Structure 1
Amino acid sequence: METTIKILIYIHAFFGGVGLMTGIGSVLVKKGSSLHKKMGKLFTIGMLTSCLISLPICWLPNHQNIFLFLIGLFTIYLVISGNRASSFKYKSKADFIDKLISGSMLFFSVVMISIGLYCQLNAIENGILFTFFGGFGLFMTTKDFIFYKNASEFNKKWLSKHIGKMVGALIASITAFIVAGIGIGNIISWMMPSILGTIYIVYWNRKIVPKKENLVKA
Structure 2
Amino acid sequence: MEPAIKILIYIHAFFGGIGLITGIGSVAVKKGSNLHKRMGKLFSIGMLTSSIISLIICWIPNHQNIFLFLIGLFTIYLVVSGNRALTFKHKLKADLTDKVISGIMLLFSVIMILLGIYCQLNNITNGILFIFFGGFGFYMSYKDFIFFKNLLETNKSWLSKHIGKMVGALIASITAYIVAGLGIGSVIAWITPSILGTFYIIYWNRKTEPKTKSRAINQI
Distance 2:91 2:32 in 1: 19
| 1:64-116 deviation digits (Å, cap 9, x = unpaired) | 00000000000000000000000000001000000000000000000000000
Distance 1:170 1:91 in 2: 26
| Matching residue of 1:85 | 85
Please list every run of 5 or more consecutive structure 1 residues that lacks an aligned counterpart in the other structure: none
Tell me how far 1:216 sits from its aligned partner: 1.5
Tell me how far 1:212 sits from its aligned partner: 1.1
The DSSP-based 3-state class of the residue aligned with 2:178 is: helix
| Matching residue of 1:97 | 97
Distance 2:62 2:41 in 1: 34
| Matching residue of 2:70 | 70
Distance 1:108 1:167 in 2: 20
| Matching residue of 2:166 | 166
Distance 2:217 2:113 in 1: 43
Distance 2:152 2:213 in 1: 16
Whichever residue aligns with residue 199 of structure 1, its letter is: F
Matches within 5 A, 1:59-208: 59-208=59-208
What TM-score does the superposition give when structure 1 sets the normalisation length? 0.99
Whichever residue aligns with residue 17 of structure 2, its letter is: G
The answer on 1:49 being equivalent to 2:79 is no
Distance 1:207 1:135 in 2: 25
Distance 1:146 1:217 in 2: 23
Say which is worse superposed, 70-79 or 149-158, in terms of deviation: 149-158
The DSSP-based 3-state class of the residue aligned with 2:16 is: helix
Distance 1:86 1:60 in 2: 36
Percent sequence identity over aligned pairs: 74
Tell me how far 1:180 sits from its aligned partner: 0.3
Distance 1:211 1:73 in 2: 33
Tell me how far 1:166 sits from its aligned partner: 0.2
Aligned residues: 218
What TM-score does the superposition give when structure 2 sets the normalisation length? 0.98
Whichever residue aligns with residue 77 of structure 1, its letter is: Y
Tell me how far 1:214 sits from its aligned partner: 1.2
